[in-house]
Amino acid sequence: MKLVLFDCDGTLVDSQHVIVEAMTRAFTRAGLIVPPRPAVLGIVGLSLVEAMRRLGDEDPAFPAEALAELYREAFRELRAESGFVEPLFPGVRAVLDELAAREDVLLGIATGKSQRGVAAVLSHHGLEGRFITIQTADDAPSKPHPAMVLQASEATGIAPRDTVLIGDTSFDMVMARAAGARALGVTWGYHAPALLTEAGAERLIDQAEDLIPAMEQFWGGAA
């Protein structure tokens, strides 16, 4: 049995426009200069307070916790507005369908989102019940700490060596390798391919339909 863990933002769904807008509203309401778009996308995947700390250059006086709450409020507003969308990336649904139909694979999520945020994404896309374990910023230290992977392993009884983490950021790759899991990077997300490789990605995937073949190569033909 194998465990396939997916990151959410930048891997399953394209939420960059919503993230940037929520960050813009949060910083504006706090009376602070809004970080440039590349800086915002560079911290996607971290837990919210840790992301704010990095945007504040780790300054102890930077109001990271207050900004995190302002961001949560802004994101809730955006989710309630007409036109809100966090679309699945092309080909992702077909991959999830194929993996969910297999008897030798369990699916999970490891994300910097909250449980509430993940539930909203899964509900919107009709993916409830697909993932047997969902590890979030509510449950573990921020990526790249390996806790999310290790907790998913404990919850499913599948060892890290039989686990692959699929993600789009360097934080995902470092987390996977630190936990003893396989690290598979996707290039359609928010970190540059070179960053994924430097962080320990064993392979980079450019399109969703190549994910399952890559995992089968990892595991000698049996995903």
Residues known to be catalytic? 7, 9
Could you give the C-alpha distances from 15 to 30, 57, 127, 153, 173, in angstroms and in order?
23, 24, 17, 27, 20
- The position carrying tokens 């019940």 is 129
Contact (Cβ atoms closer than 8 angstroms) between residue 223 and residue 212 = yes
| Tokens, residue 118 | 């993940």
